[in-house]
A and B are shown apart, each in its own frame.
Chain A
Amino acid sequence: MKRRTVLAFPAYVAAARLGGGRSSAAEARTLQVVAPWEITSLDPSRAGFIFTRLSVAETLVGAKPDGALVPQLAQSWSVAADRLTWTFRLRSSARFHDGRPVTPADVAAALERAAALPGPLRAAPIAAISPTEGAVEIRTSRPFVSLPAFLAHSSTQILSPGSFAGGETVAVIGSGPYRTTKIEPPQRVEIAGFGGYDGTPPAVAAAAYLAASRAETRVLMAEAGQADLAFTIDPASRQRLRRNPRVTLLELPIPRVVTLKVNCAHPALSDPRARRALSAAIDRPGVARAILRNESAAATQLFPPALAEWHVPDLPPLVRDLATARGLLAELGWQPGPDGVLVRDGKPFALTLRTFPDRPELPLIAAALQDQLREVGIRVSVAVGNSGDIPLGHRDGTLELALLARNFALVPDPLGTVLQDFGPDGGDWGAMGWRHQGMQRTLEALSAAFDPAERGRLRGDVARILHAELPVVPIGWYDHSLAASRRVDGVVLDPLELSYHLPALRWT
């Protein structure tokens, strides 16, 4: 409290001299944002999400927290009768922070660039991108209803040609309500309201972003009143922040799911009954309570309620049922061996589970699963390595089990991730060695279906197939969290993590 008074004092004096009052002092304040993500690069395909979250760079399409797509740099879009040709009409008054109007050619160039680099757009069936009068036309090689959602991904942000020199990104000159005033990779960005923005100017005139990789640091900054918005609070600290009168803690389930990836081509795992047995051996509420520290984080199906369109409330929840698990395993010919480990044809039921520590809870969950699976006679050895071991093991076929956290809303439409994970060849982070005719037909129909009712039905089918077949076994659902200072009003926590919604903020 004292520090704020001390710091604010010169501002009050300055404001008083200019004949201003308290409000102008407030306007002069800089909003402090702290988050774990470092600015590893200015390139849109790398840390571009930082600049879209800060409302510096815009994508063609935005999304509301519920996933509904909204216009951003594109004021409207439509698809022709052939269902292949999309037209994205641009906001004609939009300007880049360097004063240049945003032209269709700039947009097309940015999208071409995004499609050539790793990112969701690369996976979209794009045949051609061409600028037209006041719009950009995108042709797909097959009907692809999720295209607008893909254009909400940060890697498709539209930057001024002045941002690039010799193929490199040298600045982030976007068209959003904020412009950068200072970028100091890897830790700090400072932004200020852009005078030439063609929408409502933001009420908070300036903000600073600091990357602090330790959760302790972010929590302490929030507690000390140094951070106005502190993102991603560890479960253990949330309890304490809830009691802090200076801070409002916002928590939301997000479309990120802890899953157990199963090699469905493995002799012990190829039968869906084996995977159901695995699933029935897992104590999800225990994991949720002890490790994720949130009872409601126990997954009852793959898609969390946060994905309202994909979550099917009437699916029978996945629960722990050791009798069923043992019964299924016995049906498959597994018999308890002398050391309690199941044996079939002289071979023990032993598997290796790979995981990685980038998310610190994963190795802990892996250890819990190891324990729980041992109870039904499955011996699991846990190998904690690099995240890359999982895609590599997927490709060379050596992977047996993998524990990972999958974001189903890399683009606001989870279909993008679902197609990548459960397509005909499975996916690096999804199904492995799993072929299901019904699923392929449903996915093909879904990516080409434009009728909302039919899409709803097909989505339900996808969820039901995944629930019965368990090519990946859902374990837990994630929460997103934000500690916001009481000095700001209008804070929005976006479960899709597309934006910090800074333009909606006001000083109290």
Chain B
Amino acid sequence: MILRGLTAALAKRALQAVVVAVAVATIAFFALLSLPGDQAMRIAAGRYGYDIADTAAAALVRAELGLDRPLVERYLLWLADLARGDLGRSFVSGERVVGELAHLFRHTLVLAVTAFLVGCLVGLPLGWLAGLSPGGLVDRASLAAAVLARALPGFALGILLILLFSVGLGVLPAAGYGSVDALVLPALTVGVGLGGAISRVARDSTVAATTAPFFAFARLKGLSALQALLRHGVRNAAVPVIAYLGVQLAQLIEGLVIAETLFAWPGLGHAMVHAIVARDVPMVQGTALVLGLMFVALNGAVDAASLAADPRRRAAA
């Protein structure tokens, strides 16, 4: 039963992935072309610096990349390459997009997963504790903390963290990548805001679970509060939290762009912003594709977790 539900869910996600890939790539292609400014000129500025990018340099770029060919032809060529798994070469660096993405994806994934774990580690226990005594001290304090964490822009939080831990205490590097200690501040920057939101959802679902009739019944039949919570509370409280985590992924990716830029962390989000500025179509398509697929994969994981946690959904699936 579980297996069938999972397989169906995953198959649905796989199909979705293909649709997302084509849609994202197509939108990226046409959106970039519809941006104001001359594409060849932007690429030349991205390559050679705007001082050197003049109309002559733009003409060379246009000829080299075939930018004067009809739009449809370029799009179909790109689609054919994509079908073969070839994402082409960056217009700016001239490197294979696949190779560049591999480097960037590794770092983005490390940061995303760590930030996600930070969010869960901060948010879940806090939410459960708050939910066990609604209106109590933990509940009120965590509400204030969550509002603050959520309201603080990532950029400001990042700078505050650097000021505290790098400039003030001198215990962590301010920016850069490649060592475990360099991961701490960017992961906190992304994770803390996420944790704030998670804690509120976890709190509400814990309150809902512990005040539900089945919980009262569990206590009535003689289970201790802890037993009732472990047996009947956690799983029920987990369902909305898992669903909410799926929604939060979009915010996670947005947070990554900011953290990557501030902490000089090599990542997809930061690279995508640069590629958009430079009108580097293959690179934008590549980064958007990976981020889109990452989104689908994470949603798939959320589906699987929801199914595992909630038997009613399995019946529905």
Task: List residues of chain A with CB under 8 Å of any chain B CB.
Answer: 1-4, 34, 38, 40-41, 43, 45-46, 117-120, 122, 168, 184-188, 210-214, 216-217, 220-221, 223-226, 356, 358, 385-389, 391-392, 394-395, 406-407, 410, 427-429
Contact = CB atoms under 8 A, between A and B. Distances in A.
Nearest to A404: B50
A428 B55 contact: yes
Contacts of A120: 52
The CB with the most chain A CB atoms within 10 A, among B38, B56, B100, B176, is that of B176
Nearest to A225: B170
Given A41-B47, A185-B100, A386-B41, A217 B266 contact: no
A3 B172 contact: yes
A185 B53 contact: no
A24 B287 CA distance: 44
B251 interface: no
B225 interface: no
Contacts of B177: 187-188
Interface of B: 36-38, 41-42, 44-48, 50-58, 60, 92-95, 100, 103, 159, 162-163, 166-167, 169-178, 261-264, 266, 270-271, 274
Contact of B163 (A220, A394, A429): A220
Contacts of B48: 45-46, 118-119
The CB with the most chain A CB atoms within 10 A, among B92, B173, B175, B178, is that of B175
B110 to A, nearest CB: 14
Contacts of A394: 55
A395 B38 CA distance: 13
The CB with the most chain A CB atoms within 10 A, among B48, B53, B94, is that of B48
Contacts of B264: 34, 187, 210-214, 217
A356 B57 CA distance: 19
B176 A428 contact: no
Contacts of B263: 217
Contacts of A224: 162, 166-167, 170, 173-174
A213 B162 contact: no
A4 B174 CA distance: 13
A6 to B, nearest CB: 8
Contact of A40 (B60, B92, B174): B92
A2 B173 contact: no
B106 to A, nearest CB: 11
Nearest to B266: A187
A212 B262 CA distance: 8
A213 B52 CA distance: 20
Contacts of A221: 166, 173-176
Contact of B36 (A214, A223, A386, A427): A386
Contact of B50 (A213, A220, A387): A387
Contacts of A389: 37-38
Contact of B174 (A46, A184, A217): A217
A226 B47 CA distance: 29
Given A187-B264, A224-B170, A225-B170, A40 B54 contact: no
Contacts of B51: 406-407, 410, 429
Contacts of B163: 220
B166 A226 contact: yes
Given A211-B264, A220-B162, A224-B173, 20 more contacts: A40-B47, A40-B92, A43-B94, A46-B92, A119-B52, A185-B93, A185-B103, A188-B177, A213-B261, A214-B261, A220-B167, A220-B175, A224-B162, A224-B167, A224-B170, A358-B45, A387-B45, A392-B41, A407-B51, A428-B55
A220 B159 contact: yes
B100 A429 contact: no
B45 A388 contact: yes
Contact of B42 (A122, A226, A388): A388
Contact of B46 (A40, A216, A225): A40
Contacts of B178: 188
Contact of A41 (B44, B93, B103): B93
A230 B56 CA distance: 34
Contacts of A214: 261-262, 264
Nearest to B41: A388
A217 B262 contact: yes
A223 B93 contact: no
A168 B174 contact: no
A415 B7 CA distance: 70
A46 B174 CA distance: 29
25 contacts: A40-B46, A40-B92, A41-B47, A41-B92, A117-B60, A118-B54, A118-B60, A119-B52, A186-B93, A186-B266, A188-B178, A210-B175, A211-B264, A212-B176, A214-B261, A217-B175, A220-B162, A220-B163, A220-B174, A224-B170, A226-B166, A386-B38, A386-B41, A388-B58, A428-B55
B174 A429 contact: no
Contacts of B60: 117-118
Nearest to B39: A388
A217 B167 CA distance: 12
A214 B36 CA distance: 25
Given A118-B52, A217-B174, A391 B41 contact: yes
B40 to A, nearest CB: 8
A388 B46 contact: no
A488 to B, nearest CB: 18
Contact of A1 (B52, B170, B266): B170
B135 to A, nearest CB: 40
B38 A388 contact: yes
Contacts of A427: 54
A427 B53 CA distance: 12
Which 10 A/B pairs are nearest by Cβ-Cβ distance?
Answer: A388-B41, A386-B37, A118-B57, A212-B264, A224-B166, A428-B54, A387-B50, A41-B93, A224-B174, A3-B170
B41 A185 contact: no
Nearest to B178: A188
Contact of A220 (B41, B56, B100, B166): B166
B259 to A, nearest CB: 11
Nearest to A39: B93
A409 to B, nearest CB: 10
Contacts of B159: 216, 220
A387 B279 CA distance: 13
A391 B54 contact: yes
A4 B170 contact: yes
Nearest to B44: A118
Contacts of A211: 264
A395 B40 CA distance: 15
Given A38-B274, A118-B44, A211-B264, A410 B58 contact: no
B53 A387 contact: yes
B60 to A, nearest CB: 6
Contacts of A3: 166, 170-173
Contacts of B93: 40-41, 46, 185-186
Contacts of B261: 213-214
